[in-house]
Amino acid sequence: MTNPSEPLEGAPLIAPSSVSHPLYEAVAEACRTVYDPEIPVNIYELGLIYTISINDENDVKIIMTLTAPGCPVAGEMPGWIVDAVSPVPGVKSVDVQLTWEPPWGMEMMSDEARLELGFM
């Protein structure tokens, strides 16, 4: 029997986003307005936003992580995202969930974030 917490073989570690939904770009742009207070790059470019899922009723579910489990803003950052995304025209509701799987790594940063932080 397979352990139910383990992903099925071949299943993606990060659920796909609703990139074809008309609200996706506006929601992603709203996420780009939230910054990690310790790193001068927005959380979207840092790769902390794993999934933006938007259903037909325009309910938004965001799955995210943090750079480390002991991050001092762990309790606050999901609320910052709700505050940033909720005003997007057309968004009905916003649910933000934290995950630690897969763990965040520097390879998840965008090229823009790497450049900003001097890694390129």
Domain span at residue 33 reads 23-104
Tally of structural domains, the chain: 1
Q: 78 vs 72, which has greater pLDDT?
A: 78
What average pLDDT score do residues 56-73 get? 90
| 63 located within any domain | yes
Residue 41's domain is classified under what CATH number?
Answer: 3.30.300.130
Please say whether the beta carbons of 13 and 7 come within 8 A.
yes
Share of the chain residues as helix, strand and coil, in percent rounded to the nearest 5? 25, 15, 60
**Chain centroid, CA 56 distance in Å:** 20
| 16 located within any domain | no
Give me the pLDDT at residue 10, please: 56
Using the predicted structure, report yes or no on whether residue 11 has a pLDDT greater than 60. Answer: no
User: What pTM did the predictor assign?
Assistant: 0.85
